[in-house]
């Protein structure tokens, strides 16, 4: 496999860039899901491959760089991706394989430093300042990580090495795929200012349009605007945030544990659905998944939220805060159904539904108070027993009766 090594910045990157003030790494797997799939399909290397639903519903989960050359990118509707790259091979996702590789990659990171902040299953920040004496300078550690990931899993990653998280993430993006880029602490401004303003965190499509109207197209343009002007145009917080980033100021440390803010799942139907019973069955399936994930993470939550997307892509969300926090699927499901029914979408064709739990807290800190004469339902104990059976025998080992009937209906049709 190829190995791209870039150190320093500018039109002619030089080797041996000064990484002495650059303890932060951003490691990002290259086309992660697609790369994992190609391990079992080596004949597809060098060809456009898309990971997503073969039926054309849902969105692109991953795409090889050959597919990206045709304009395909993650989160794009599959229908559009197929139009842009009709010659692509479509592979349905295998989330279990991705989770297994992700776990192994994170083990490599944690063997190097305890300061690992995962952002997703395929990327993380590392602070390797404390590993210098044992493993060498940051660039050497970055190179070692790349070699270990390649040797152990047969996939590539790109690494940005910088003085801050913000610049390290930009650096890893700049050197993709399969690259390593060091941005010396003294050359951050030289690296940032030629970049388009859309490269900054917090600059979405609307903000970019507002900046372009002000004649601001590059980070350098933004840096020359007085912070007070940005705050007046974009708001106090956003303006101050972008003014700091334009000069590379980002004081956030690498945090080894970031608490989950919410846990959710959603599903795009293979065909638009207007049958309330089918929609409720999917809400039950999603509630089971969300509750199981919460129990595994040791969380309970108080706020249940549902996402309902019509066939015309218009989307509404509804939420309700419970009296007591819960990790019980039956409680989540009952609330989700009430929210769905209250939305008044009976017999409306639906494209997607989702269930999410918010307002999370550690389960150990939550105690449930029973009302006078109220009895425990036993649902929590039953679902914990289901967790154990599923862990031992697989995801379909134990299912609620309505989901079993749903599977039988699918088989019959």
The binding site for Mg(2+) comprises 28, 122
Q: Nearest 5°: phi and psi at 20? A: -65, -30
Query: 3-class SS at 312?
Result: coil
| Exposure b/e, 223-240, CB count within 10 A at least 16 = b | bebeeeebbebbeeebbe
Beta strands in 198-338 (DSSP E): 262-273, 299-310, 315-326
Please indicate whether residue 147 is annotated as part of the active site.
Answer: no
Closest CA to 91 of 51, 39, 59: 51
Separation CA 191–CA 187 (nearest Å)? 6
Closest CA to 138 of 32, 29, 246, 27: 27
Tokens of 85: 């790259």
Neighbours of 104 (CB within 10 A): 13
The catalytically annotated residue of 37, 66, 117, 123 is 123
Rounded to the nearest 10 degrees, the angle between the axes of helix 205-213 and helix 227-234 is: 120
Query: 3-class SS at 144?
Result: helix
Running DSSP on this structure, what letter comes out for residue 368?
P
Q: Got the DSSP string for 116-137? A: EEEEETTEEEEE-GGGHHHH-S
Q: Are 353 and 372 in contact (CB under 8 A)?
A: no
Q: Which residues pair with 265 in a beta bridge?
A: 355
Task: List active site positions.
Answer: 123
């Amino acid at each position: 496999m190829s190995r791209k090594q870039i150190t320093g910045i500018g039109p002619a990157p030089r080797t041996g860039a000064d990484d002495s003030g650059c303890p932060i790494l951003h490691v990002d797997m290259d086309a992660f899901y697609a790369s994992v799939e190609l391990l079992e399909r080596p004949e597809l290397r060098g060809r456009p491959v898309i990971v997503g639903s073969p039926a054309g519903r849902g969105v692109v989960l991953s795409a090889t760089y050959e597919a990206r050359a045709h304009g395909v990118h993650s989160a794009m509707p599959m229908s559009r991706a197929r139009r842009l790259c009709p010659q692509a091979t479509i592979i349905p996702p295998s989330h279990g394989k991705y989770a297994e590789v992700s776990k192994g990659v994170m083990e490599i990171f944690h063997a190097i430093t305890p300061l690992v902040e995962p952002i997703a299953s395929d990327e993380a920040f590392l602070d390797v300042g404390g590993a210098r004496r044992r493993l060498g300078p940051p660039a050497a550690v970055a190179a070692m990580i790349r070699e270990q990931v390649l040797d152990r899993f047969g996939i590539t990653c790109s690494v940005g090495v910088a003085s801050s998280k913000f610049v390290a993430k930009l650096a890893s993006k700049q050197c993709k795929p399969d690259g390593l880029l060091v941005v010396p602490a003294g050359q951050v401004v030289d690296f940032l200012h030629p970049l388009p303003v859309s490269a900054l965190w917090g600059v979405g499509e609307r903000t970019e349009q507002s900046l372009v109207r002000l004649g601001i197209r590059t980070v350098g343009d933004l840096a020359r605007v007085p912070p007070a002007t940005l705050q007046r145009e974009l708001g106090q917080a956003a303006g101050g945030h972008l003014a700091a980033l334009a000069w590379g100021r980002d004081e956030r440390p690498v945090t080894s544990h970031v608490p989950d803010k919410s846990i959710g799942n959603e599903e795009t139907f293979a065909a638009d659905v207007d049958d309330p019973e089918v929609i409720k069955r999917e809400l039950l399936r999603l509630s089971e998944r969300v509750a199981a994930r919460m129990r595994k993470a040791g969380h309970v939550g108080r706020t249940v939220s549902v996402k309902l997307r019509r066939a015309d892509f218009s989307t509404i969300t509804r939420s309700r805060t419970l009296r007591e926090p819960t990790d019980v699927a039956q409680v989540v499901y009952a609330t989700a159904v009430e929210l769905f029914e209250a939305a008044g979408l009976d017999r409306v064709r639906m494209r997607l539904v989702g269930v999410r739990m918010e307002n999370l807290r550690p389960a150990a800190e939550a105690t449930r108070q029973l009302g006078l004469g109220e009895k425990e339902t036993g649902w929590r104990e039953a679902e914990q027993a289901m967790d154990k059976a599923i862990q031992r025998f697989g995801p379909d080992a134990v299912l609620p009766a309505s989901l079993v009937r749903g599977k039988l209906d699918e088989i019959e049709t």
